[in-house]
Amino acid sequence: MTAPDPTLATRSNKRILAVVGFLVFVEFSSGFLQGYYLPLLDAVRDHLGVSDASIAWFITVQTLAAGVCVPILSKLGDIFGHRHILRIGIVTVLIGTVLVALAPNYPLVLVGRVLTGPIAVWLPLELAIVHNQIQGETARRAIGMLISALTIGALMGSLTAGLFSSLLSSTAAQLLVPVVMVTVSAIFVFTLVPESTSRTAPAIDWLGFVLLALFMLALLVGIKVVTSQVGLGAVLIALAVALIGTFVWWELRTSSPALNLRVLTSNRLWPVYVTSFLFGMVLFGTQSITTTFLAGEPELVGYGFDLSAGTISLTNGTNMLLAAVGAGVYAYIAKYISLKGVLVLGSATVAISQLLLIVGHASLPLVISGIALAGFGSGLLLGGLPAATTEASPADETGIATGVYNSMKTLGGALAGAVFALILGMFVIPEAGASGVGGYISIWVICAAATGLCPVLLALIRPERYSSESTVAATTTEADKTRQHT
């Protein structure tokens, strides 16, 4: 039997590192875009001459498009190749960013924002490519690098938007900056990123995809409007429940389902998905909550620290940097306490951070400590949850498995946003026109309970899993048998 060539192995490792590096830049660009537009909303509103209510759709339509396309494009990646669908997604986003920058009217700008929706599926497709090319601890480190790049990209996008808003007088010129980032990412994806080799059954469950898209659309819109238009929101949410019921009924009966529910609801994956949903509630649902609490004037509302926008931005930036650190080191920690241990540690850390906010909300050092702790714990989960998802999913269903993880996290955040807005409304101080401290404490209690439940759920994960290592080992064994037979 011929000994492996160490030179070939070294070249292979260098190629893998190069591929991960290119994907890291792509994911950095994804985070950059997601962080870049928000600080420029006022400038975009004035540039297009639209109202405050209308400019809110700039964010909303992109969120809705992302919610609809993530599970669909993830599944198509499993069928046709993850790089192939990533190429389609990146070209679509590139067209969308150009439209946002150069469109002469607001309706066309919104079309551009819809076309940027597939940016949310870049990460699931990249994770599937990494999982196909790399195994074991190296794959976990690569996933951590991707998540760190996404987080740092979002922070840099926000900071860069402020810089270019002062350097460039033209709003259109400011909006062209993301076009450059996406263009470079597209060059990498089209020339340097390899295609995955695993494929699922080529049959496309069109009815399942349509039902899934309508469910996501009805649920996300219903959650968004239920606080302002209760009747319409309730109808849409009821419609979403009916649609998901029909979808489940159909998926369990069709031979080539859009979602393999028997795998996704197995003991290997469902605790990870429920954890993702609960974590999404905290991650996305408390972003604006933290800002308004820190900005609160104690003399007027009885809480807060009357911090300036710059100080709040610095605090939020620290949270994001610690999240990047957590995502970057989760694989190293998993070497000692296992991947499940990292998930338990991350969720427990976030739960403790919420308890710290509850008991120490009157002390700025304790609040800052709670925010920092939440950032690091979130980073552990942001890195560990997608890694657990890829390792527990069949090789030919990695794309849709990670797409569902992403969707669950988004749905958790959307639901929390609506519920937390209702809670704050229940504690409004009429004289101040702002929520009382009871509203914030109630939200932190919910967040502590949600993340405190996660370790219990994660303990239910079955040790058996679809691991890339076992797949590679099985393939190698079969190859050895074939060579011996020959």
pLDDT band at 17 (very low <50, low <70, confident <90, very high): low
454 in any annotated domain: yes
**Could you say which of 149, 173, 194 is where a domain stops?**
194
In whole angstroms, give the CA distance from residue 257 to residue 247.
Answer: 10
429: DSSP letter: E
pLDDT band at 467 (very low <50, low <70, confident <90, very high): very low
**Could you say which of 149, 166, 194 is where a domain stops?**
194
Selected residue with higher pLDDT from 429 and 358: 358
Determine contact, residues 115/96, Cβ cutoff 8 Å.
yes
What is the model's pLDDT at position 288?
83
Selected residue with higher pLDDT from 250 and 467: 250
Is it the case that residue 481 has pLDDT exceeding 50?
no
Determine contact, residues 162/37, Cβ cutoff 8 Å.
no
In whole angstroms, give the CA distance from residue 118 to residue 86.
Answer: 9
440 in any annotated domain: yes
In whole angstroms, give the CA distance from residue 465 to residue 462.
Answer: 7
Contacts of 89 (CB under 8 A, 6+ apart): 73, 118, 119, 121, 122, 125
Place of tokens 């104690």: 298
193: DSSP letter: P
Domain co-membership, 65 together with 96: yes
Angle at 286 (CA atoms; ends 283, 289), nearest 5 degrees: 160
146 in any annotated domain: yes
Q: Which residues pair with 428 in a beta bridge?
A: 435
> Residue range 460-481: average pLDDT?
46
Domain co-membership, 32 together with 108: yes
Domain co-membership, 152 together with 83: yes
Domain co-membership, 28 together with 139: yes
Share of the chain above pLDDT 70, in %: 91
2 in any annotated domain: no
What is the model's pLDDT at position 28?
96
8 in any annotated domain: no
pLDDT band at 479 (very low <50, low <70, confident <90, very high): very low
Determine contact, residues 448/314, Cβ cutoff 8 Å.
no
What is the model's pLDDT at position 145?
93
Domain co-membership, 190 together with 209: no
Here the CATH number for the domain that contains residue 408 is: 1.20.1250.20
What backbone torsions phi and psi does residue 394 show, to the nearest 5 degrees? -60, 150
3 in any annotated domain: no
Domain co-membership, 76 together with 127: yes
Contacts of 133 (CB under 8 A, 6+ apart): 16, 19, 194, 196
Domain co-membership, 65 together with 99: yes
> Residue range 353-373: average pLDDT?
95
Average pLDDT of the chain, as a whole number = 87
Domain co-membership, 340 together with 466: yes
pLDDT band at 463 (very low <50, low <70, confident <90, very high): low
Domain that holds residue 226: 205-255
Q: Which of 40-49, 129-138, 253-262, 322-331 has the highest mean pLDDT?
A: 322-331
1 in any annotated domain: no
Burial of 395 (0-12, 13-18, 19+ CB in 10 A): buried
Share of the chain above pLDDT 90, in %: 57
Is it the case that residue 321 has pLDDT exceeding 70?
yes
Nearest to residue 373, comparing CAs of 359, 358, 352? 352
158 in any annotated domain: yes
Structure confidence by residue, pLDDT tens digits, 151-200:
999 999 988 988 888 888 888 899 999 999 999 999 999 998 888 888 87
Domain co-membership, 321 together with 231: no
> Residue range 458-464: average pLDDT?
79
Determine contact, residues 456/446, Cβ cutoff 8 Å.
no
Specify the 3-state DSSP secondary structure of 1. Answer: coil
Selected residue with higher pLDDT from 279 and 166: 279
Q: Can you state the percent helix, strand and coil of the chain, rounding each to 5?
A: 80, 0, 15
Beta strand 434-435 with 428-429 is antiparallel
26-35, 76-85, 111-120, 283-292: range with lowest mean pLDDT:
283-292
pLDDT band at 133 (very low <50, low <70, confident <90, very high): confident
pLDDT band at 339 (very low <50, low <70, confident <90, very high): very high
Specify the 3-state DSSP secondary structure of 410. Answer: helix
pLDDT band at 465 (very low <50, low <70, confident <90, very high): very low
> Residue range 10-18: average pLDDT?
58
Domain co-membership, 307 together with 365: yes
Instruction: Quote the pTM value.
Output: 0.87
In whole angstroms, give the CA distance from residue 312 to residue 304.
Answer: 12
pLDDT band at 84 (very low <50, low <70, confident <90, very high): very high
In whole angstroms, give the CA distance from residue 466 to residue 118.
Answer: 27
What is the model's pLDDT at position 12?
52
Is it the case that residue 484 has pLDDT exceeding 50?
no
Q: How many CB atoms lie within 10 A of CB 168?
A: 14
> Residue range 121-146: average pLDDT?
89
Single-letter amino acid code for the residue at 177: V
Contacts of 468 (CB under 8 A, 6+ apart): 131, 135, 136, 139, 390, 391, 395
Handedness of CA 102, 104, 108, 113 (dihedral sign): positive
Indicate left, alpha or beta for 280 from its phi (over 0: left) and psi (-120 to 50: alpha): alpha
Selected residue with higher pLDDT from 291 and 379: 379
Report residue 367 as tokens.
């609040």
Domain co-membership, 161 together with 24: yes
Place of tokens 């290119």: 22
Burial of 124 (0-12, 13-18, 19+ CB in 10 A): buried
Burial of 391 (0-12, 13-18, 19+ CB in 10 A): buried
Place of tokens 């997604």: 89
Domain co-membership, 82 together with 186: yes
In whole angstroms, give the CA distance from residue 294 to residue 287.
Answer: 11
What backbone torsions phi and psi does residue 434 show, to the nearest 5 degrees? -135, 160
Structure confidence by residue, pLDDT tens digits, 435-446:
889 999 999 999
460: DSSP letter: T
Selected residue with higher pLDDT from 202 and 403: 403
Determine contact, residues 323/371, Cβ cutoff 8 Å.
no
Q: What is the number of structural domains in the chain?
A: 3
